[in-house]
Amino acid sequence: MKYIDEFRQSSLILNCASAIASITKNHWQIMEICGGQTHTILKYGLDRLLPASISLLHGPGCPVCITPSFTIDQAIAIAQQEGVIFCTFGDMLRVPGSKGDLALAKANGADIRTLYSPLDALTLAQSFPKSEIVFLAVGFETTAPATALVVKKADQLGLDNFSLLCAHVLVPPAMASLLNSPQSKIQGFLAAGHVCTITGYQAYQAIAQQYQVPIVVTGFEPADILQGIYHCIEQLEEGRFEVENCYSRSVKPYGNLQALKLIEEVFTVVDRHWRGIGQIGNSGWELSWQYRRFDALERFNDLPITENIDSENICGEILQGLRKPDQCPHFGIGCKPEHPLGAPMVSSEGACAAYYHYLERIG
Ligand code: SF4
């Protein structure tokens, strides 16, 4: 396939790995922030092609993994109410809340529907005017523009039976939070190319300088990942801490201005709780006051607000890159994709699911 196969050629991948080995003199620990990148690394065995002195740490860049359990509890509480049609993406169904998941609530009779596009929620709102249509909006800067567009359309259509349970998050504050942790081992970052396609990469300059870490904007194909690692190692070996763009076929310095304008109009930045990590300042979006009437938290009362963090300790260490999935005692025994104990095993982008799916290579 043109534009994909070129980035998966074995000769190119081996040349990239060899180039990395040729410049690596010291031990380095680099975090790929995005779960999609983690999957590419595991799927293609890229970590096995690197010198033993390079360790790849897997980051929290999976929206399903970091959506807090109280948001799932809120989703269930709303979905169980009379007259509600609750809408979500399919991979949110099995994310554990404190007392179950949306799949269980659906099995018990709640009207929960999986959508491929948030725009489908508006179609439902028009088709069922006597029902309350609630959409669980999750994801990073990549999915926020689509959610913002839906809210604007709902406003234009004058819909009063549509609302959002909004759990959108931003990546740069989470990177700073990870670096602030005394346990952090991160010496460089591969930033997520699709996020930077929306936001650009100017926001990363301050992080690179303040924490003295190189940040390399990286794509998702095997050659992309190895190119990102090469440039990260090159900077580390030379003592440089800069933001570099290795995904220029998609990412521009200032991002997608139209999408950013839409986000700015519809959302306002707030503190947000990340599952397994905790509260991170300025790391989330909620609806701005002009659109607050579409906020499900304003429309439904007495929703759960307490995070159940006790059961998330091990998963939290995975999400912060402090441990690897196969170091979890539950991995592949009590915790499998068929019966996950934590969100990193549920999501198709979760690090634990990636390790499990490519288990035979790890074992
Ligand atoms: S294997 Fe399961 S319990 Fe262990 S960290 Fe991963 S998701 Fe959490």
Domain map of the chain by residue range? 5-63+173-245, 65-170+255-310
Residue from 64, 67, 311, 318 whose mutation best tests the ligand 1 pocket (most atoms within 8 A of CB) = 318
Cα of 316 from ligand 1 centre, angstroms: 9
The yes-or-no verdict on residue 37 having pLDDT over 60 is: yes
Mean pLDDT of the chain: 93
**HSE of 137 in the Cβ direction (CA atoms, 13 Å)?**
34
Q: Which two tokens mark 8? A: 């998966």
Hey, how many other C-beta atoms are within 10 angstroms of the C-beta on 35?
Answer: 27
Mean pLDDT across the stretch 286-308?
90
Residue from 328, 336, 349 whose mutation best tests the ligand 1 pocket (most atoms within 8 A of CB) = 328
The finding on whether 330 has its CB within 6 A of some atom of ligand 1 is yes
The yes-or-no verdict on residue 199 having pLDDT over 90 is: yes
CA distances for 244 relative to 177, 196, 215, angstroms: 21, 12, 6
Do 65-170+255-310 and 5-63+173-245 have the same topology in CATH? yes
Single out the residue of 121, 169, 172 nearest to residue 149, CA to CA. Answer: 121
Q: Which two tokens mark 202? A: 């100017």
The yes-or-no verdict on residue 2 having pLDDT over 80 is: no
Mean pLDDT across the stretch 293-314?
80
**HSE of 344 in the Cβ direction (CA atoms, 13 Å)?**
35
Is-contact 113 121, C-beta < 8 A?
no
Q: Is 328 left (phi over 0), alpha (psi -120 to 50) or beta?
A: beta
Give counts: helices (H), strands (E), the chain. 18, 11
Is-contact 72 167, C-beta < 8 A?
no
CA–CA separation, 147 and 135 (whole Å): 9
**Residues facing residue 139 across a β-bridge:** 168
CA–CA separation, 62 and 190 (whole Å): 14
Given this model, what pLDDT does residue 7 score? 80
The yes-or-no verdict on residue 305 having pLDDT over 90 is: no
At the fourth CATH level, the homologous superfamily of domain 65-170+255-310 is HypD, alpha/beta domain 2 (3.40.50.11740)
Single out the residue of 42, 290, 297, 55 nearest to residue 167, CA to CA. Answer: 297
Percentage of the residues of the chain whose pLDDT score is greater than 70? 96
Instruction: Look at ligand 1, atom 7, and give the residue with the nearest C-alpha.
Output: 342
The yes-or-no verdict on residue 297 having pLDDT over 60 is: yes
Given this model, what pLDDT does residue 361 score? 54
* Greatest extent of the chain over all pairs of C-alpha atoms, in Å: 66
Given this model, what pLDDT does residue 269 score? 98
The finding on whether 354 has its CB within 6 A of some atom of ligand 1 is no
Cα of 359 from ligand 1 centre, angstroms: 14
Mean pLDDT across the stretch 243-260?
95
Residues 223-236: tens digit of each pLDDT: 999 999 999 999 99
The yes-or-no verdict on residue 179 having pLDDT over 80 is: yes
Mean pLDDT across the stretch 259-269?
97
Is this prediction's pTM over 0.95? Answer: no
Mean pLDDT across the stretch 255-261?
96
At the fourth CATH level, the homologous superfamily of domain 5-63+173-245 is HypD, alpha/beta domain 1 (3.40.50.11750)
Single out the residue of 40, 46, 39 nearest to residue 12, CA to CA. Answer: 46
Residue from 38, 309, 314, 346 whose mutation best tests the ligand 1 pocket (most atoms within 8 A of CB) = 314
